[in-house]
Structure formats: structure tokens, C-alpha cells
Structure 1
Amino acid sequence: MWNLINTLANNNTKRNCAPSKLLVNSITVIDPKEICNTFNTYFATIGPMLADEIIQIFGNSSAALPNKPTDTVELTTFDQCTTLEISKIIDNLNPLCSTRIDGINTKSIECIKNLIVDSMYKCFNKLLNDGEFPNSLKIAKNVNTGLDIEVTY
């Protein structure tokens, strides 16, 4: 049956598709079985061989990573935020988001933006200058469960 199917489909499965010769380590191989065995050996060993090379190159962290810079910069202060930055953040809030933990939705914040920007500016800059982060700002609402999550450090 397969002979008939291959004949009708014009599949020439008996056709020899192996190369007539292969040059391996300066030696010419012409025996078809030896050529197949050479390919088999190559493809059976190339994966582990490449994996070993990766470990040798990247196994040592000092070889894989560039040298650390001698000049280290520490973040010790924050730049003051501006009323313009706060206004832009409020403008970019997603109006379709649900209410936050405080129950205020983004549409309400957008409506009173001009009334609260100056107070927010002073408040945020005081928090940055004092290095404080109030616990009430460490709480988020999980949108999937609706549960409040408090982040503590």
C-alpha cells in the first residue's frame, strides 16, 4: 500500500540524498554508511560540547561580567517634584480604573486637580526631604481579588 501511495504522490523515498563524499579532519569519507555515522556522531555530541563551552565562558562570574566601575554613585537625595509633574501624572491616570484603597476614583481626582496640586506638591516634597513613607501609602488593592495588600519593609 505504501509503495502505491508513494508512487501516486511521486515520493521517491528510495532516492539517495546523502552526499557522495565528506571531508572530516582532512580525511575524505566516501562510504555512505560512514558518512551517516559521521553526521550522527556530530549531531549527537554538538549539544553537550556547546553546553560545556558556555559553562567555561560564563561559569566564572568575573569572566562573564564586565568589571565594576570604580566610581560608584549613591542616591542620597531626591530632586524636588514640581506642580507640573504632579499635574501631568494626574492627567495620565486611567479614568477606567476602579477606586483606590481610599475609595477615591481617578475621575474625582481629575475634577479637583487644580485644588489639590499645590498641597500634593508640598506633601510629596516633605516626604522626600524627611525620608518618610507613610504606612497608608504602602497599601494597595489587588484588582483580581479586591483584597487590600500592605507592603512592609
Structure 2
Amino acid sequence: MYTQSGVVSCTLSDHSLVYAARKSVKVKSKITFIEARSYRKFDQTMFTSDLTKEDWSPVLESTDVEVAWDSFIQIFVPICDIHAPIKKTRVTDRQPTWINEDYLKLRRDCQRSRSKAEKSARPEDWAEAKRLRNKLNYLADKLKAQDMNSRISNSKSDPRGLWKNLKTLLPGKKQSTISSLETESGTVTDGTDIANTINNFFATVGQKLASKFEGIDDTIVNTSGSNCNSGFHFCHITTCLVLKQLKKLNPHKATGLDNISARLLKAGAEPLSAPLTHIFNLSVTTGTVPSKWKISRVTPLFNVLLLETTDPSPSFLW
């Protein structure tokens, strides 16, 4: 969009100067949305009551661990969606807590003074603009210090809050993305291929290292002189043990890919202990683990210090 245009006569040339002023458009930042469970109307008593009323026989009578876990999910997740529904939330930039009306007023004055100096180009206007800028920077540093001292003083009895405030003072770590990966077969640029290459490397690194040690006797020798039982087996766990561990869960831990938070498991510990105990014991008896338990989100950390290595193996890049 052009706000102004015209023709200016120029004595240095036979041609006139044509000009146009274009209005700059501010580039909007990318809007980010996150999906999370909403606990605004969560009632633990009602949640526990609904779990108790459910029929858990499809889980308790199952002899296949995969079927048992799928049945548990089909019963448990709909109840979670009722009491703590998943909602999409827009993530916006929050205004710092130290900003007050005095700072906002001085910032507006500073912007007007700079705009005036750019138009007039007079030294006294530029001096006034610099004075207001320095005053604004001084006020910002003062307000930041006061806000941080206040937050640290208020969180002395809260170790979690104190550490959270102290981390804001530490320099943040820069995150870098991988656009390509050098392997023995060539350069990999596709994101899926990079992930599969890293996954294959770490899945086979143990076998490759073990193959380098040949002729080693792996027989276990008892040097203590006492008799030991060579047999080994897993024991079934009890419902009381599962209930105890569910009540110890930290509700502030991150939710996994199944959208089942530790808070919901802890809140429904009483009715959930029996079906979960059956699933755990069934897994021990059959020697299998539900396939959905093996799914995880892996984020490789880029090792910047080893970029100059000549070895193309991914092990030197991660």
C-alpha cells in the first residue's frame, strides 16, 4: 500500500525524479496453539465416583495384555474427557510483571520524542530523545530489580517457586535444528529419514559394541563362598502396592502421548488400583509389554562441540 507519490524536478538531469512512499506492514508472529486438559471444573469426588461405578470386568477378565490395556483406555479416557476435557489454547506473549503505568507513559514519551527528532533533525531534539531513552532504560532496570527481589522474597518458603525465579536470571540455552545428517551411505536431509537414522543407530549401538569384544567368558563365578539360588523369577505385585505408588505420583509431571496425566491417575487411585494391578501382573506372566507403552517422543540434543569431527557416524553428532 502506497501512502504518497509524486514527481520532483531535478536540475542535474533532464529527467524528473519519481518517488513513492510505501506503508510498512508489521509482520505478525506465528500463532501457537497447545492442547491440554482443563481442570477448571474438575471435581475429584465426582471423578472417583464415576470410576467406581464403571464395570472393569473387560480388563480384569482379559488374558491378553494388549486387550487388557485397550479395554482400560476405552473405559478410563472417556471419563477423563468428561471431567477434564482437552481444550486448545492459544499461547500469547505475556507482558512482564514489572511493567507499570509509569514505564508505559515514559515509553510513549520516548517514542514521540524520537519521532520528533527524526523529523526535525535538530540537535536539541536528539539530545532530548537520548535523555528520555536513558531515563527509560534506567527505570526498566530499576523495576526489574524490584520485581525480582519481591518474587524471591515471597518464594523463600517455596523451593520450587524460588528455583523457577532464579532460572529466569540464568542465560537460556539456544536450540538448534538439524537440516542434514552425514551418514555412511550419504547425506540425509528429510526429517523422517533423519529420525529413522538416529533411531537405527541407537537401536544397534549395543550389538556393535558387543561384537568388538571376542573370546570373553561371560560365565558368572560365585566368589563369595556362600550358596546362592540360580533361579530367578518375578513376583506378582499386590493392589496395595499399586495404590501406594499411585498416591505418590507427582501431579506436576508432564503428560505423555496418551493424554493421561499423573494428576488423574492420582485422583482415581482407589478404583484404578485393581485393573492396573491386573495389567502389570499379566505383563509379568506373559512376558510382554503393551505396544503403546513403547511409544515415546525422543528429542536428540545437538552436540555443537563435536562439529569439527571427521567421523561421519551419527554417534559423534549426538
Same fold (TM over 0.5): no
Q: Highest Rg: 1 or 2?
A: 1
Alignment TM-score, normalising by the size of structure 2: 0.22
Alignment TM-score, normalising by the size of structure 1: 0.43
**Greater relative contact order, per chain length (Cα 8 Å cut-off, separation 6+):** 2
